[in-house]
Structures are given as structure tokens and as C-alpha cells.
Copies of this chain bind each other. A is one copy, B any other.
Amino acid sequence: MHRFITELYPICRSITGEGVRKTLALIREHIPITVCEVPSGLQVFDWTVPPEWNIRDAYIKNSAGERVVDFRASNLHVASYSVSVRARMGLSELKEHLFSDPEQPDLIPYRTSYYEPAWGFCLAHKQLLALPDDEYEVCIDSSLEPGHLTYGQLRLIGRSSDEVLISCHVCHPSLCNDNLSGIAVATALAQRLSGMNLRYSYRFLFIPGTIGSITWLSLNQTRVSRIKHGFVMTCVGDAGPITYKASRRGDAEIDKAWTYVLQQSGDAFEIRPFSPFGYDERQYCSPGFNLPVGCFMRTPHGEFQEYHTSADNLDFVQPPSLGDSLAKALATIDVIDNNAYYFNLKPFCEPKLGNYGLYKTTGGVSADLSQKALLWLLNMSDGQNSLLDIASRANLPWQAVKDAAQALSEAGLLKLAERPQ
């Protein structure tokens, strides 16, 4: 995953343009996503698909003709969606178009101006202070023209047409945790799920933030009701503990599944209630949709110093964190995909487990666990408690619960029940 991030890192992405296309092409080398192109100007709910932005080069040259700020050195140097400019100006006029962060004077900040025509350069505050009074040549060789908004999607077909949505954004330039980490983990997750026999169909979206999810929702209104669970994935590569932000519903199955998986893991974690700030869960959880979609992160955006600066680089995302994020997403999907309601077919007193070869057949701790799982499942399986409910209440590992459900089903002691309304 870190290697994939390294490949994606140099590309200058924005909410439209060639950077997104190149990114999707690289994703396509790993998983067979479909690339969709939506024309500029299309009305999507309250929004309009913007013109497409592309940039070839940009710089500020001093009077000696040296590039003192150079887009080729870092694509963060140009504010995203900057209009084309070619001009000469003194320092004071130039400064109106220069952005820096005095609080982190060594770092280049990340800036955008999607919906106001403007141009600007971003640079380290130290460099800004050191710029001498001079006549500068400014060049942004960009275009902002009718074109397309591009996104990728992959649908893994399961036994049911009900879907699990996994969404990440692809609109950030050379920023690793936000959100190349999400792209890399989502890609790896899709690869892992590809070979599996899954109950749900899994829809992966690789979209520009905000306008991408709005566009997708607008074009797929009739499919939205199929989404039974989902999560947005962002900032999943830093070294911090996992933060899961619950869906607007707060007690959706996906919220319970993440909570259970994180509790079982023994690692530090935080569950946060929904708030209407953040990433594309804002759109999925808008009141008209109110989808059961949470947000899976490590350190949330804006809560790490490197956020939206040149320090969110290849060193900031770490292979073990990426691996742990992938493992926990897989564990959560294992819970969601296998969760079910059962009826105990011998609900009067305990069945005599020995009759079915289920009585402490092996010794040791895991035998004890599996015995516990059998008894909990028999006791709670009245069609109202899911496996996840039982596992959470009994504090049992998921594998023990899954195995027990299978053993009891094979023994004719449990029967699958309809999901209660």
C-alpha cells in the first residue's frame, strides 16, 4: 500500500482533470474499476458540475530569471483551480496572491478556490518572508474549461443486490494521509474482497470530495435504497489510533460493527457521534438520504499538525498503520457480511450438546470459548438478537460466534430468521 501511495504521490489531483484520470488509471492496474465522466455544467441537486481544471506548469521567477517558486518542485505551490495568469509584478502586488502559514513557517499549505475564479501560490512562510523586493514574473499555465468530472467505481457482486458502500476521495494533490491512504487501503480492500464469496455486493467509490459524492448520489438516486451499510475512508495511514465517526443514525449496524471490532481488538480507539462536518459522510448522511454510512479514520482531519500541508508526505503515512487499517476494515466487513438472526429450534431448556457432538469436544481455552459461544447463541437466538448483538453482549470473538452459529445450524439447532423490522 505504501508503494502505491508513492506512485500516486507526485500526481497533481484536483476535483477534476487529468490528475484524477491518472490516479484512476493507476488504481485500475490493481482493481477493475469503471471510470465515469460527467460533463461540466450538469446540475446535481443544488450544485453544478464545475468546469474541468488542468495545469501544465506554474512558477514565480525573480528578475534574474530563477524560479523561486516552482510547481514542478511541489504541486502544492499552486492553489487548486487557479486561473491562468502570465504577468510581471512587484512584491507587494504579488503578495496578494501568496498564501503561507505563519504558525508552521517551514511548510507549504494546501489551498483551493473551486468556486471563485482566482489564482494563488502557496509557499513556506519562511520563504515568503525572505522574498526580496523585486520584479517577478508570474506564470500559471492552467485551463479551466468545460470538460468532465471523473470518478471511478467498482461493484463486487455478492449473493444479494443489497450493497455495502465504501467511499474515498481522490481530489487531493501530493497529500498522503489525506487521502492517498484512503485510496490505497480501499484498493487493497477491494482486491481482498474480490475473490470472496460474499453476501452483500460491495460498491467502491473513488470520487472527488463533496462534488463527487453529490454527483454520484444525484445520478444514482434509485440505487441508494440498496445501500444497507457503508463507510467513508480517509486519513487511515498515520500512526494514531483509529477513530470511527458514527453515521447520523448513530445505532446503525455498521456503527455497532465498527464499535465491536474496535473493542475486540484491544487497541486504543475512539467512537465519535455524527456531526455534519468532515468528508463525504456529510452527503450520504444528509437528512434526505440518511444512509447508514460512518467514517473510518485514524487521526481525524484537522487534528494532526501535518494536515493540509507539505508535511502530509510519504514519511507521515506508515506501512503498519495502513496494514492495521486494512485489517480492521476487513474484520468489520467480516462482521457485517456474516451477521444474521437465528431462531433456536430447541428453545425449551438447553439442548443436550453431547447428543450433537458439541459438548467440550476439545480441551483448552478455545474449547471454553466455543462452549460459551454455543450457549450464548442458543440462549439469545430468539429472532431478535443478531450474531453481532450476541457477540457484543457476551464479549466473544467474532470467529467463535461464527463457528458456533455454523455448528449449531449444521446440528439442526439454529435456523436463520428474517431480519426484524
A368-397 toward B: CB 8 Å interface, digit per residue (1/0)? 000010011011111000000000001000
Q: In this assembly, does A34 line the interface, its C-beta being within 8 Å of a C-beta of chain B?
A: no
Contact A47 B352 (CB under 8 A): yes
Known contacts A46-B355, A275-B394, A277-B372: A288-B348 contact under CB 8 Å: yes
A200-231 toward B: CB 8 Å interface, digit per residue (1/0)? 00000000001001100110010000000000
Contact A217 B372 (CB under 8 A): no
A376 partner, pick from B214, B276, B346, B355, beta carbons under 8 A: B276
Contacts of A354 in B (CB 8 A): 115
How many Å lie between the Cα of A214 and that of B349 in the bound state?
Answer: 6
Known contacts A248-B379, A375-B277: A45-B346 contact under CB 8 Å: yes
Known contacts A287-B380, A354-B115, A379-B286: A349-B46 contact under CB 8 Å: yes
A289 partner, pick from B45, B115, B348, B351, beta carbons under 8 A: B348
A46-77 toward B: CB 8 Å interface, digit per residue (1/0)? 11000000000000000000000000000000
Q: In this assembly, does A243 line the interface, its C-beta being within 8 Å of a C-beta of chain B?
A: no
A348 partner, pick from B45, B275, B372, beta carbons under 8 A: B45
Task: Give the number of copies in the complex.
Answer: 3
Least distance between A46 CB and chain B CB atoms (Å): 4
A248-289 toward B: CB 8 Å interface, digit per residue (1/0)? 100000000000000000000000000111000011011111
How many Å lie between the Cα of A354 and that of B115 in the bound state?
Answer: 9
Q: In this assembly, does A347 line the interface, its C-beta being within 8 Å of a C-beta of chain B?
A: yes
Contacts of A344 in B (CB 8 A): 287-288
Contact B47 A286 (CB under 8 A): no
Contacts of A350 in B (CB 8 A): 46, 210, 214, 276, 282-283, 286
How many Å lie between the Cα of A286 and that of B355 in the bound state?
Answer: 18
How many Å lie between the Cα of A100 and that of B380 in the bound state?
Answer: 36
Least distance between A182 CB and chain B CB atoms (Å): 20
Contact A349 B277 (CB under 8 A): no
Contact B46 A287 (CB under 8 A): no
Residues facing B in A322-360 (CB within 8 A) are 344, 346-352, 354-355
How many Å lie between the Cα of A351 and that of B289 in the bound state?
Answer: 13
Who on chain B is nearest to A115 by CB?
B354
How many Å lie between the Cα of A6 and that of B247 in the bound state?
Answer: 57
How many Å lie between the Cα of A283 and that of B352 in the bound state?
Answer: 12
Least distance between A346 CB and chain B CB atoms (Å): 6
Least distance between A220 CB and chain B CB atoms (Å): 12
Contact A347 B287 (CB under 8 A): yes
Who on chain B is nearest to A382 by CB?
B287
Contacts of A352 in B (CB 8 A): 46-47, 115
Least distance between A285 CB and chain B CB atoms (Å): 7
Least distance between A290 CB and chain B CB atoms (Å): 8
Contacts of A289 in B (CB 8 A): 347-349
How many Å lie between the Cα of A277 and that of B368 in the bound state?
Answer: 12
Q: Which of A214, A347, A348, A352 has the most CB of B within 10 A?
A: A348
8 pairs of A and B residues whose beta carbons are closest in the complex: A288-B347, A288-B348, A276-B379, A276-B375, A46-B351, A287-B347, A287-B382, A214-B349
A–B Cβ pairs within 8 angstroms, 11 of them: A46-B346, A46-B349, A46-B355, A47-B349, A213-B349, A283-B349, A286-B349, A287-B344, A287-B380, A289-B349, A290-B382
